[in-house]
Amino acid sequence: MPKKLFLLLVTILSISCKSDDDSMDLNCAAVFCAAVDDTLYLQFLNPENDDDLLDNGAIDTNLMEIVNEKNQEITFTIEEYPDMGMFLAIPVSKESFRQQSFTIDFEEGDSFTIHLETSFPKGEGCCGPYTTLENFNIDHYSYELVEPSPFPVFSTVYIPNLN
């Protein structure tokens, strides 16, 4: 029962938040907001058997390079999520909200480009606004369709023949 009461209180506080002016609403101070994570997380799987290509070493991340549409190298990380697998984490620029692209080169002659479009919606309420993915497409490989949503965004890319 205490959990339900707490949830009801948090819901009421978050609904009562207003952003009519630049001052912080005292009701909003009681709401816990998710930290901003403008990251694209990609999991690479073999389409024939769903093997995780980062986990089994079929993709050597030491040989991987990622560049953006301006040909600038992007620093990435590899992150493991229990019960989900290994993910390539690419930070998405929020300097300006627009179309962006990342070319991922495996140094083995295999490369592909990710095209995405981001926006920064005008938010109401206590939390946000957060960067939103509006459009997502990958050249060369099949992938899990990503619907428009706030970041972070997770997708699976199916890459055959990297053994």
| Phi–psi pair at 64, nearest 5 degrees | -85, 145
Q: What is the pLDDT of residues 18-33, one digit of tens each?
A: 444 444 555 666 667 7
Do residues 66 and 73 make contact, with C-beta atoms less than 8 angstroms apart?
Answer: yes
Of residues 55 and 162, more confidence is placed in: 55
- CA 67/CA 76 separation, integer angstroms: 10
Identity of residue 98: R
For 156, residues 6+ apart whose C-beta sits below 8 A from its C-beta are 42, 43, 44, 45, 143, 144
Query: For 29-33, which contacts have Cβ atoms below 8 Å and span 24 or more sequence positions?
Result: 31/126, 31/127, 33/126, 33/127, 33/128
**Predicted local confidence at residue 137, as pLDDT:** 92
Taking the model in full, what pTM does it have? Answer: 0.75
Q: What is the pLDDT of residues 70-103, one digit of tens each?
A: 999 999 999 999 889 999 999 987 766 678 899 9
Where do the structural domains in the chain lie, given as residue ranges?
Answer: 1-32, 35-158
Tell me the two tokens of residue 140: 């060369």
- CA 153/CA 139 separation, integer angstroms: 18
> Nearest CA to 81 among 42, 51, 48?
42
